[in-house]
Amino acid sequence: MKKQNTRDVKAHLLRGAFYLLLFVGLVVVVALSAAINMPNPASKFSTWQDNLAFGKVRESASSVAASATRKNQTLTFADRVAYQRAIEEVYWRHRIWPKENPDPKPSLDAVMSQAQLEKKVEDYLRKSQALEDYWQRPITTEQLQAETDRMAEYTKQPEVLHELFDALGNDPFVIAECLARPTLAERLLTHGALEQLKQTSQTYNRIVPATATFILPIISDTPFGCLDDSWAATSSTNAPTGRFDQTAVWTGTEMIVWGGTRNGFRNLNTGGRYSPATDTWTDTGTAGAPVARSGHTAVWTGTEMVVWGGNADNTGGRYNPLTDSWTATSTTNAPTGRNSHTAVWTGNQMIVWGGVNFIGLTFNTGGKYNPSTNTWTPTTTMNAPATRTGHTAVWTGSEMIIWGGWNGLSSLFNSGGKYDPVTNSWTATSSSNSPSGRYGHTAVWTGSEMIVWGGGSSDYFDTGAQYNPKADTWMVTRTTNAPSGRTNHTAVWNGGEMIVWGGFGASGVTKTGGRYDPGTNSWTGTSRTHAPLARSGHTAVWTDSEMIVWGGVNSAGDALGDGGRYCGQGTHRDPYPATGFDTESSTDSRASTMSVTSLIKPAIDFQCSFARIRAR
């Protein structure tokens, strides 16, 4: 009996211990479950020190599952770098690689290193942290959602924005954190804040990610992002300081504006990159940038914007938008310093020619700059056109054609020349039936002809002509329905029409323009509804579907820091003309829009203080 009781006690003890352990286990499971599902206000972005090795990332940008309902999602630094690479891949895919370039377009990895990707991520995380630590303005969930919504609503390149969203897995959280946060952080920081930010620590482990749900917005589905013959304002948030006599190039994904002057005396070495896809501006870096200037030129090479000359002697710089960095151009064998010259890109060289120096001396010299070797080669003066400034230049695929201009004194030219960089030789253009001599006109290349229009002398011209370099012949453009005569306007080619806009005429600055169809030799006016303020000395580039104008000066002499997007694709969907006379050797001419537009301000009765040649 005693043994039986002992066995019963042991059994009860064992069962009690078992139930106790079971109870403790259930408590632990419930506690863990609650902890997992409990909002955690202390969750952080992983710091860059947590994972320096890009190769350690376990999920690529395309493999992270999308979710519109996840909360408390965090991204490691490596995750962010992977997503940044996905973003850069989209932009690089759309970046113009001029077809004259002898080598094929390289891969993104060949032009952007892992370290450079990491630097971009570090930069926007530091800015986000600074907003919280130094200005007590942390970026909120609502702000990130609003920025994502704004991009979707106001995009002018919806196809590119779709690709960006796709590259980020269409995950609203990732889109908010990796696409919206960088632009928002840049915008919210003032210039003074950025200067202070340079002195701050590079740690940002205290940044708390948003915990609310993000919603993926519907991207505007307007065909080609715009309606034909309509205007829309460019964002002015974070845009560069107002200016005129600046340059602008189109890269395929963004317009880069740089340099210029505030009032004819206060020159600038700042600029900005405008993205139509997200309707946002980003400052260009000033570290290593050329000294402030105006009256310079700029061309796009496929990877860099090359600026040169202006009222800052014979110096220049190459700007890489991928890395936001500058490299100085060599001055060895460079042409004499000048401004209001012209420049074109051939595929491997930038050719600059003509212009005027600070004492008013005009040139018929130039140089060929090779960015690969950072070297200059002079252009011959044998059979070169007479010295001039205020002329225009276009690249045909095999030759640079310059035309018009004046000698800085009294002589106006209706002559020009064709320069072959391979043979280093000049051939004069015919003057038979050519337009009358002028300066400050524009010229575009259509694929087979150069169209010049406008300009001035003692009057303002509404005339022009089409020049066929193969036949060396001119055909006059009609004046019926043409815009009023003007100078210092801009012109772009949309694939079937030349679009001119703005400028200075007999009635002062203007906000009118016109579209010229060389096939029918006819003009159609551009809409004035929602057009930017009247201006002169602005810049213009052509994108896939629209002309973007920016900057310039108004009738009161005030420098402008705004612009507009004009949808002018019409029925033409091949806006990038073939170069030369063989359609198989076509070239994307978007990058060199500004190389054909003279922005000189000659001293011939402009009746405006800003419109005089600068004797610097």
Find the DSSP H helices in 40-156: 77-94, 108-111, 114-133, 141-154
CA nearest neighbour of 85 among 120, 52, 51, 58? 120
| HSE-up of residue 188 (Cα within 13 Å, Cβ side) | 24
Mean pLDDT in residue range 589-598: 40
pLDDT at 283: 95
Neighbouring C-alpha atoms within 13 Å toward the C-beta of 302:
23
In degrees and rounded to multiples of 5, residue 378 shows phi and psi of: -70, 150
Q: What's the confidence (pLDDT) of residue 604?
A: 30
pLDDT band at residue 616, thresholds of 50, 70 and 90? very low
Of the listed ranges 241-255, 516-530, 572-586, the one predicted with least confidence: 572-586
Comparing C-alpha atoms, which of 39, 57, 40 is closest to residue 48?
Answer: 57
User: Which of 133-142, 369-378, 541-550 is the least confident region?
Assistant: 133-142
Q: 36 or 377: which carries more pLDDT confidence?
A: 377
- Enter the DSSP assignment of 510: B
Question: What radius of gyration, in Å, describes the C-alpha atoms of the chain?
Answer: 30
Task: For residue 65, count CB atoms less than 10 angstroms from its CB and return exposed for 0-12, middle for 13-18, buried for 19 or more.
Answer: exposed
In this predicted structure, what is the pLDDT of residue 412?
A: 97
pLDDT at 225: 58
**pLDDT-derived band of residue 312, with 50, 70 and 90 as boundaries?**
confident
pLDDT value at residue 187: 85
Read off the pLDDT band of 550 (50, 70, 90): very high
Q: How far is CA 114 from CA 37, 106, 121, in A?
A: 36, 16, 11
| pLDDT given at position 24 | 43
Does the structure show a pLDDT above 80 at 584?
no
* Closest-CA residue to 139 (of 188, 77, 179, 196): 188
Query: Cα–Cα distance between 592 and 587 in angstroms, integer?
Result: 11
The mean per-residue pLDDT over the stretch 442-460 comes to: 97
| Residue 188 reports pLDDT greater than 70 | yes
In DSSP notation, 326-392 reads: EEEPP-TTPPPP-BS-EEEE-SS-EEEE--B-TTS-BB--EEEEETTTTEEEEPP-TTPPPSBBS-E
Q: Is the per-residue pLDDT at 580 higher than 90? A: no
Specify burial of residue 276 (Cβ count, 10 A radius: 0-12, 13-18, 19+): buried
Tokens of 178: 């990796």
Distance of alpha carbon 464 from its chain centroid, rounded?
Answer: 30
Q: How far apart are alpha carbons 128 and 204 in whole angstroms?
A: 8
Tell me how far apart the alpha carbons of residues 298 and 117 are, in angstroms, rounded to a whole number: 26
Give me the residue spans of the domains in the chain: 48-197, 223-596
Residue 576 has pLDDT above 50, yes or no: no
What percentage of the chain reaches a pLDDT higher than 70?
Answer: 76
Side by side, which strands form the sheet with 490-493?
490-493, 498-501, 513-517, 522-525
pLDDT at res. 209: 53
DSSP states along 43-56: --PPPGGG---GGG
pLDDT of residue 329: 98
Query: What's the rounded mean pLDDT across residues 164-177?
Result: 96
Comparing CA positions, the residue from 615, 611, 597 lying closest to residue 361 is 615
Residue 69 pLDDT > 80: no
Quick one: average pLDDT of 391-406? 98
Architecture in CATH for domain 223-596? 6 Propeller (2.120)
